């Protein structure tokens, strides 16, 4: 199976955006299997092969990395059953059930992205990360700074939206030098992909180039989740 997508992939997703219902999807399930699900698994397998050389802790079976196309509508007023893009999430082995950082890929007719970091962490993981940043903000800034600049053929990356608080959370000094980081509720960086990128045979190599660049940042931001004494409940409240 070729490790890239096809024009039929994008046609299916555009159609799904217009006809987001189960009848339309089930009538075209063979197209979904051939042009969306199978290529995504092939792309993940190709990425895993090289990822094992610089971030082996993030290699897992493709079916565990590919994200479901089905939306979770239980608590959402939007009851459309399907996502209109494809996505994959490389979580670190052993930390799959936490909010620890990982690598993210998304593609769709309007384009896509590669990204890495922590997004919308659970309560204890949010506090764990903030406590770590309070002590290691200088290291964080040193690792993040190069990502904001172009490198070779790779463009400068963009910080993911921080969804920040208006003031420092409880338990942290209002004049803390890491206040901008402590107020954040997301930490990470992304780079845009063109829809056409996903149709090219070299697509996995493009994604891997971004992942290699992001790997030191992900490794650093994983530290609070690996520390033996990282009890997020100690002495602080959100």
What's the predicted TM-score (pTM) here?
0.93
Secondary structure letter of residue 36 according to DSSP: I
Instruction: Reply yes or no on whether the pLDDT at 130 is more than 60.
Output: yes
Number of Cβ within 10 Å of residue 131's Cβ equals 21
DSSP at 68: P
Residue-level pLDDT at 235:
39
Tell me which architecture the domain covering 7-226 has in CATH.
2-Layer Sandwich (3.30)
- pLDDT, position 237: 35
Give the residue-averaged pLDDT of 51-70: 97
Least confident of 56-65, 67-76, 188-197: 67-76
Model confidence at 238: pLDDT above 70: no
Q: From edge to edge, which strands make up the β-sheet containing 112-119?
A: 86-90, 102-107, 112-119, 186-193, 158-159
Average pLDDT over residues 218-226: 96
> What is residue 227's predicted lDDT score, i.e. its pLDDT?
75
Q: Residue 178 burial (CB < 10 Å; 0-12/13-18/19+)?
A: buried
**Which positions ≥6 away from 150 have C-beta within 8 Å?**
156
Q: Where are the domains of the chain?
A: 7-226
C-alpha to C-alpha distance for 5 and 19, rounded to whole angstroms: 21
């Amino acid at each position: 199976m070729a490790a890239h997508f096809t024009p039929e992939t994008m046609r299916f997703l555009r159609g799904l955006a217009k006809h987001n219902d189960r009848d339309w999807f089930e009538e075209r399930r063979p197209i979904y299997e051939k042009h969306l699900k199978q290529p995504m698994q092939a792309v993940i397998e190709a990425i895993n092969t090289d990822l094992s050389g610089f971030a082996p802790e993030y290699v897992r079976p493709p079916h565990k990395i590919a994200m479901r196309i089905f939306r979770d509508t239980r608590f959402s007023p939007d009851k459309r059953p399907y996502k209109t893009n494809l996505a994959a999430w490389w979580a670190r082995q052993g930390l799959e059930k936490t909010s620890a950082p990982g690598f993210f890929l998304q593609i769709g007719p309007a384009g896509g992205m590669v990204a890495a970091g922590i997004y919308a962490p659970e309560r204890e993981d949010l506090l764990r990360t903030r406590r770590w940043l309070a002590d290691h903000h200088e290291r964080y800034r040193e690792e993040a700074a190069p990502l904001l600049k172009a490198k070779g053929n790779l463009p400068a990356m963009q910080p993911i939206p921080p969804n920040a608080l208006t003031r420092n959370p409880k338990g942290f000094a209002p004049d803390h030098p890491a206040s901008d980081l402590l107020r954040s509720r997301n930490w990470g960086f992304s780079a845009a992909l063109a829809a056409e990128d996903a149709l090219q045979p070299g697509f996995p190599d493009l994604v891997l180039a971004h992942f290699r660049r992001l790997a030191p940042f992900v490794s650093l931001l994983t530290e609070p989740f690996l520390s033996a004494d990282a009890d997020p409940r100690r002495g602080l409240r959100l």
